Amino acid sequence: MPLDRGPSPLRPSIRGTTPSYRRFEAMSPVDNDVHPVIHAGRVAVITGAASGIGRAAAIELAKAGLKIALADVLEDVLTATGKEVAVIAGDANVLVIPTDVSKIEDVQRLRDKVYEAWGEVAVLLNNAAVGPDSKAWEQLDNWRSTFEVNLFGVVNVQHTFVPSMLHQENQAMVINTGSKQGITNPPGNPAYNATKAAVKSLTEGLAHELRERPSCNVTAHLFIPGWTFTGLTARSGGVKPAGAWSAEETVLYMLDHVRLGEFYILCPDNEARRELDQLRIMWAAGDVAEGRPALSRWHKDWKSLFDEYIRDGLAEMQ
The full set of domains in the chain, from first to last, is: 43-270 (3.40.50.720), 273-317 (no CATH)
pLDDT value at residue 233: 54
Mean pLDDT of 53-77: 97
Which pLDDT score, from 0 to 100, does residue 121 have?
Answer: 98
Residues acting as catalytic residues: 192
Q: How confident is the model at residue 237 (pLDDT cuts 50, 70, 90)?
A: low
| pLDDT surpasses 80 at 71 | yes
According to the model, what pLDDT value does residue 240 have? 81
pLDDT category of residue 230 using cuts at 50, 70 and 90:
confident
Q: Is the pLDDT of residue 287 over 70?
A: yes
Spell out a b/e string for 187-199, using b for 16 or more CB atoms within 10 Å of the CB, else e. eebbbbbbbbbbb
pLDDT tens column, 87-141: 999 999 999 999 999 999 999 999 999 999 999 999 999 999 999 999 999 999 9
Q: Region 68-79: what's the mean pLDDT? A: 98
Mean pLDDT, residues 257-274:
94
- In the prediction, which pLDDT does 235 show? 52
The answer to whether residue 318 scores a pLDDT higher than 80 is no
* Percentage of the chain exceeding pLDDT 70: 87
Q: Look at 241 and 157; give whichever has higher pLDDT.
A: 157
Of residues 229 and 61, more confidence is placed in 61
pLDDT value, residue 10: 42
Instruction: Pick the more confident residue, 179 or 233.
Output: 179
* More confidently predicted of 15 and 204: 204
With 80 as the cut, is the pLDDT of residue 231 above it?
Answer: no
